[in-house]
Amino acid sequence: MESFRTTIKCLVASGFISVCATLCSADRSDQIKLLYNELATSDAEKFAAIEREIKLLWSLSGSPGVDFLYRRGENSFQAQRFDVAAQHFSAVIEMAPKFASGWHGRAR
């Protein structure tokens, strides 16, 4: 009986995490849409800041582990350690194949 309760608790927790990740992703999409609209009407001063914000949102996968690996890949790329960057981006792709930024990072 205790094993059954533990299994149920794990299922409920994983369902909750999935729902939260989906909501965060939807919220991020809404934020990006708003930023695109701002970008269309902004002046040159605001353009760079809005662009940085969009790139930041693109770099978030919704998973702390994937985000950590992605940042490591980006840092390695900036340090011109391309072989290490490719390994990190490959790990990102393996963990989150639908996260486009991982593919983009490895393609560079």
pLDDT in tens, 75-89: 999 999 999 999 999
Reading phi first (left if > 0) and then psi (alpha if -120 to 50, else beta), residue 13 is in: alpha
Q: pTM for the complete prediction?
A: 0.65
- For 24, the domain range is 1-57
Asked whether residue 8 falls in the same domain as residue 37, the answer is yes
Asked whether residue 49 falls in the same domain as residue 67, the answer is no
Work out the end-to-end distance of the chain between its first and last CA atoms, rounded to an integer number of angstroms: 52
Asked whether residue 51 falls in the same domain as residue 63, the answer is no
Residue 51: C-alpha distances to residues 28, 34, 39, 70 (Å): 15, 12, 8, 19
Asked whether residue 75 falls in the same domain as residue 48, the answer is no
pLDDT value, residue 2: 62
Tokens of 95: 């963990």
Asked whether residue 69 falls in the same domain as residue 51, the answer is no
